[in-house]
Amino acid sequence: MLGLKVKKSTEKGSTNPKYTLTSTQLNKLLQSKMITTGKSTLRDSEGNMVMEWTKTTADKDEQLKLIREVVDSLKEDIKPVKPTPFKEKNTLQHLCNQYTLTDFHLGMMAWGKESGDDYDLDIAEELIVGWFAKAIEIAPNAKQAVLAQIGDFLHWDGMDAVTPASKHVLDADTRFTKLVRVAIKVLRRVIRMLLEKHENVHLVMAEGNHDPASSIWLREVFASFYSDEPRLTIDTNPDPYYCFTWGDTCLFHHHRHKRGLKDIDTVFVAKFKSEFGRSKHVYAHTGHLHHQAVKETNLMTLEQHRTLAPKDSYASRGGWISGRDAKVITYHSKYGEVGRLTISPEMLK
């Protein structure tokens, strides 16, 4: 264990404890988990040393332990939410609605004159709440719902607005603390709306390449927050491949940052042999590339989904153009897919 202690404080006039970990504290903790990879020396024309610096890289295993310990500390005093009343009476027992969301990039900044559409934290919050309100309103009254958030829900993953692997600088709106607060608020609101309509709800918070660490705390914190909600299940699998079965129908989810449509079907089968073996209808859902693609193999139907988010400067300058929408796909427990709704941002206006 890393011996991490998260400071507990209570604001004046409030009985709810809050946990604080400043950016300086977190950066120091992360820096302490760096490993040396070598040294570089700058010498003058006569061979005298002018400057020397040590090259380091992040110890990924240690940083992952740190993230998990932060999450465990946050979970200790979470007060579980009370169960949400189920309002819908005319439930269709054999149906399951998958609300498919990928690459939402909450916290991204886009300038309409540069990339076609404006986007910031306020616009994104209004968009996602509006989309789910409309989707839930017009979707069938299925007994089961799956909120399939297939990765890159957050645009960046820490104090610095960069991609975790390559450290590319991102166009970001506001601070990470505010981004986290909005993410939690939005997801709680969406989950409540789903629980009011559907008898049972299953939550998938998939790992993405923009938010691998945040996907951990999103899964774990929400699992603690809804531990007293019997109608909600949350997939807390740390492996970035996910599976949900509904009768004879099997649904797979992966962001697509590790495996693409070429051979991901064999990965799913290898990881979930029993679920695949007892299913007649098998579907896999991915994101990552922001445009739609469908491929049917001998094993399953593979689908890559669009995003609701607009292009940022990087995508616009690179010429990566795609439509914007998200889908509600309805599955029957015996017959597989039986319907779908496609809702774009323009339709919400």
pLDDT tens digit string along 158-173?
Answer: 889 999 998 999 999 9
pLDDT for residue 204: 98
Please give the DSSP secondary-structure letter assigned to residue 345.
Answer: G
SS3 for 40?
A: strand
Sorting pLDDT into bands at 50, 70 and 90, what band is 47?
confident
More confident residue, 17 or 323: 323
The model's pLDDT over 271-304, given as tens digits with 9 standing for 90+, comes to: 999 999 999 999 999 999 999 999 999 999 999 9
Q: Work out the end-to-end distance of the chain between its first and last CA atoms, rounded to an integer number of angstroms.
A: 50
Token pair of 69 as six digits: 């310990």
What letter represents residue 300's amino acid? M
Decide if 301 is inside a domain.
yes
**Average of pLDDT values for 319-345?**
97
**Average of pLDDT values for 237-247?**
97
pLDDT at 15 over 70: no
More confident residue, 15 or 237: 237
pLDDT at 315 over 80: yes
pLDDT for residue 17: 43
Decide if 167 is inside a domain.
yes
What percent of the chain clears pLDDT 90, i.e. is strictly above it?
72
pLDDT at 36 over 80: no
pLDDT for residue 88: 81
CATH number at residue 233: 3.60.21.10
CB neighbours of residue 241 within 10 Å: 20
Sorting pLDDT into bands at 50, 70 and 90, what band is 89?
confident
Question: What φ, ψ does residue 128 adopt, rounded to 5°?
Answer: -70, -40
Sorting pLDDT into bands at 50, 70 and 90, what band is 12?
very low
pLDDT at 95 over 80: yes
SS3 for 86?
A: coil
**Average of pLDDT values for 75-86?**
83
Say if residue 78 is exposed, middle or buried (CB neighbours under 10 Å; 0-12, 13-18, 19+).
middle
Decide if 325 is inside a domain.
yes
Sorting pLDDT into bands at 50, 70 and 90, what band is 72?
low
Decide if 17 is inside a domain.
no
Decide if 4 is inside a domain.
no
Decide if 172 is inside a domain.
yes
Number of domains comprising the chain: 1
pLDDT for residue 174: 84
The mean predicted confidence, pLDDT, of the chain is 87
Decide if 55 is inside a domain.
no
The model's pLDDT over 186-229, given as tens digits with 9 standing for 90+, comes to: 999 999 999 999 999 999 999 999 999 999 999 999 999 999 99
Token pair of 257 as six digits: 């940052």
Q: Looking at 14-28, 48-62, 218-232, which range is the least confident one?
A: 14-28
Sheet with 142-149, edge to edge strand ranges: 232-235, 200-205, 142-149, 92-101, 326-332, 336-343
pLDDT for residue 152: 98
pLDDT at 259 over 90: yes
Provide the residue range defining the domain that includes 228.
Answer: 93-348
Please give the DSSP secondary-structure letter assigned to residue 27.
Answer: H
Decide if 228 is inside a domain.
yes
Token pair of 22 as six digits: 């400043």
